[in-house]
Structure 1
Amino acid sequence: MASLDSTAIEPARAARPGLNAAGTLAVGLILPVGLALAWEGLAALGVVSTRLLPPPSQILRTLGDLAMRGVLLDHVLTTLGRVAAGFLLGVAAGTALGAATGVWPLARRLLDPTIQALRSIPSIAWVPLFILWFGIFETPKVMLIAVGVFFPVYLTLAGAIASVDRKLVEVGRIYRFGTWDLVRRILLPAALPTYITGLRGGLGLGWMFVVAAEFMGASKGLGYLLVDGQMTGRPAIILAAILLFAVLGKLSDLALAALGARLVRWQDGFRPEGA
């Protein structure tokens, strides 16, 4: 009887993760779908001006028209390429300096005050300087995105390393770990969950900064669509670009979160009931 019960339970356990993922996705869609339906209904009743605030159906038609003309994919891929390049550059710099200031007190005293001061500079303030330095082509756009990604990655990694349990470090010293072994085998694994959170924060800021980046004389990209919609008085184009930013940002964050979950499978963290 016990063996029958255990075999009956195992399939349910195996199916639970997939069911939870599907259920989470379904619940997460309730609010945006409900708002879209309400928005469509108000527009149909004439409560909302469709000239200034086009309904979701018109936005979808605009996206379909851009796709049929063959320009939508080009704009999306251009923006994705800029975000990817800026993200990788910002992560590399943020990881290197965050690890350095987290591990070596001298590096922290030397570098951290300047980095904290630079963090307070508004993103748009870098635009004229980057144009002056790098021109108006791709380089200043990628650099501006990298600036947005850098700071959350740097801050979370430096803070995570500084907050690693001292007992773990003492164990490493007992085993005579050198600085590199201590970083590789104790500090970075212990800081990894927080570091992944910083990567997700940096990615989110990368998507925000790409809008400012594509205002710098871009001829392609979703930011260009925003400007084009404004200049030609087509709010459907603007809302379509905003919708694409939201969808692409969410999908990229989901991909990064899934990768992070695989890297920290060893972590026995808190999970609320029903999660």
Structure 2
Amino acid sequence: MIVYKTEEEIELIRASAKVLAQAHGEVAKLVREGVMTLELDKRAEEFIRDNGGKPSFKGYRGFEYSLCISPNSVVVHGFPGDYTLKSGDVVSIDCGVELNGYHADSAYTHPVGEVAPEVLQLLEETKKSLYLGIEQAVAGNRMGDISYAIQNHVEKQGYGVVRELVGHGIGKKLHERPDVPNFGKRGAGLKLQSGLVLAIEPMVNLGTKSIFLEKDGWTFRTKDLKPSAHFEHTVVIRKDKAEILTSFEYIEKALQ
């Protein structure tokens, strides 16, 4: 069942999204060479709880952390731990916040130190594909219009679009229907209606689209071990233009 949100519910998601955006900003301040990924996780949880929220991911299906931290060839769902960031890394940080019973979800991939130009380009084009997908997230369009916009852009650059992992509806639950694939056909799939809240999240690989799941049952990695990028916003379908509820504003301020 697909749950369309009232304006009151959208305001509650917006409040979660603001704490989430600020938490991302706090983490971004710490992303640099020599920092252990577990330190990033601790800062995110501390900030979220200090602001009345709960980390959406912690305890979700047994996941033990507040952030998914995915460096280099890890696509998503990486565990924070004793891995120390080094120059040349890229690291995807995915976070969710529950506040007043409603969730918001977003992700951003950071470069660390001196990163190879082709990898920086991967990050730029993946981020661009997110916004191209969001441009299609308007009432009357279909899900395939979002999916096609993402796929068409990144495949033109020669990148691989992950098939096995998708975006999703979001609200009272972290993951709701419908799925939001990052590949598909224009004009196909669910007809979009106002009030639908989606987490749109391109996951794009420098090389092959193929991925594999590590033995821990969580960590997805590129099959060719080349870097992957991941950007995500929580948005609401509107009549003429999607409204982005999450924000990268605090991340971008921290990176200046």
TM over 0.5: no
Larger helix share, 1 or 2: 1
Larger strand share, 1 or 2: 2
**Bigger Rg, structure 1 or 2:** 1
Give the TM-score normalised by the residue count of structure 1. 0.29
